[in-house]
Structure 1
């Protein structure tokens, strides 16, 4: 019984640490990636908000796991086991979705980038996000800088490109642009590579975290089963 208690408390601490990590990642994504996510044309759920909510819930329930193990409260242990089961299912769904829909996410960004180029100067939110993306990834346009030359904004500027396409203030906004002073790569290839690599990592991490829940569920159920039922209650399996 003592070994079960210590094992469940140790697991709860790891679970709590995982929740804190998710919360930090969610905050980082909300602050730094919020503008980039606005460029996607796909109506996906707000991933940073999901991470924030899940991380907060895991932190709270991680404390509950430690408390239920320390006090050997049978009802709390069963509740904790049920919560871990829910996290297991959510982790499996998130992980498998990330693996299956990586290409859909990339296509959503491709379509969103084209829309952002065509509405540049009209939608300030997307324009700021696009400028930030081009600076951060050192890219220009969807496939190349030539995408800008046929956009409504580019035609108004006599076939020029935004300053965010420039490596420096070298006059790359000339007409035609000075190709030696601007970012040569298109943004979609870089975004696609980023999505493919990082979505795979996040998906496998979600599946790994889901597999970890099996240990917690087994420990919680074993400990609950070893605790005697209330004299007036009826013992039932976890």
Structure 2
């Protein structure tokens, strides 16, 4: 009787931990989904990378985030019902998602130099077509306003662009650090390319720690799901 009580207590404890993991996993899925949408809608407007890479990278994040949201909801049902088979299937899905996220991180790291070149080329193309396509103009203005940057390397890049050669002043209003009655008082000193690259170079260790933490978190879920399934099977066997 004592062993059965201990077994039930242990199962209840693991269930509680796994349920908490499921909630956090669902939130993580929402973050991954949001990141994929932002990368697809915002970042890739300024990217010119290899065709196969540019088409798949954002969609991998979106699909993975969506799968994590769905799996997180189903996992709560699996945990509450305590079905060992479903828990093992859940653990297998967690491993698949772990492999996908690790693979995406490795691919991004391997393509980092190419992504820098693509981002620079994309910005150059966007600035060149700024005066022609309203959607590109809006995207560039949003980028420069959000990042407090101007041009690619610095504000003088606008002087070589068609917009800069056809307008006075040669800079869009989004380049202005301060403006009065639509007149620039001062410009953002840093270029958008340098701002983005500097951010990632400065925070690469933090990003690495975050990736490792997410991978460890995923693996913890696999362990909890397998432990719960094994404990439930063991408890059933002891009752028999």
TM-score bracket for this pair, using the shorter chain length:
0.7 to 0.9
| TM-score relative to the length of structure 2 | 0.75
Q: Does 1:144 align with 2:151?
A: no
Corresponding position: 1:86 with 2:91: no
Which has a greater percent of helix?
Answer: 2
1:217 matched to which residue of 2?
A: 222
Aligned with 1:109 (options 101, 119, 129): 119
Shift of 1:223: 3.6
Residues 14 and 198 (structure 1), Cα distance of their counterparts in 2 relative to 1, 3 Å cut: farther
Closer, same or farther: CA 221–137 of 1 in aligned 2, 3 Å: closer
Q: TM-score, normalised by structure 1?
A: 0.76
In terms of fraction of residues, the more strand-rich structure is 2
Match for 2:142 among 132, 135, 159? 132
What count of residue pairs does the alignment treat as equivalent?
A: 224
Does 1:161 pair with 2:171? Answer: yes
State the 1:37 CA deviation. Answer: 3.2
Distance 2:131 2:12 in 1: 61
Indicate yes or no: 2:16 matched with 1:6: no
Matches within 5 A, 1:1-238: 1-2=7-8, 3-24=10-31, 26-27=33-34, 30=37, 34-42=41-49, 43-45=53-55, 50-157=60-167, 160-169=170-179, 181-197=186-202, 201-226=206-231, 227=233
CA distance in 2, matches of 1:187, 1:143: 7
Query: Alpha carbon RMSD of aligned pairs, Å?
Result: 3.3
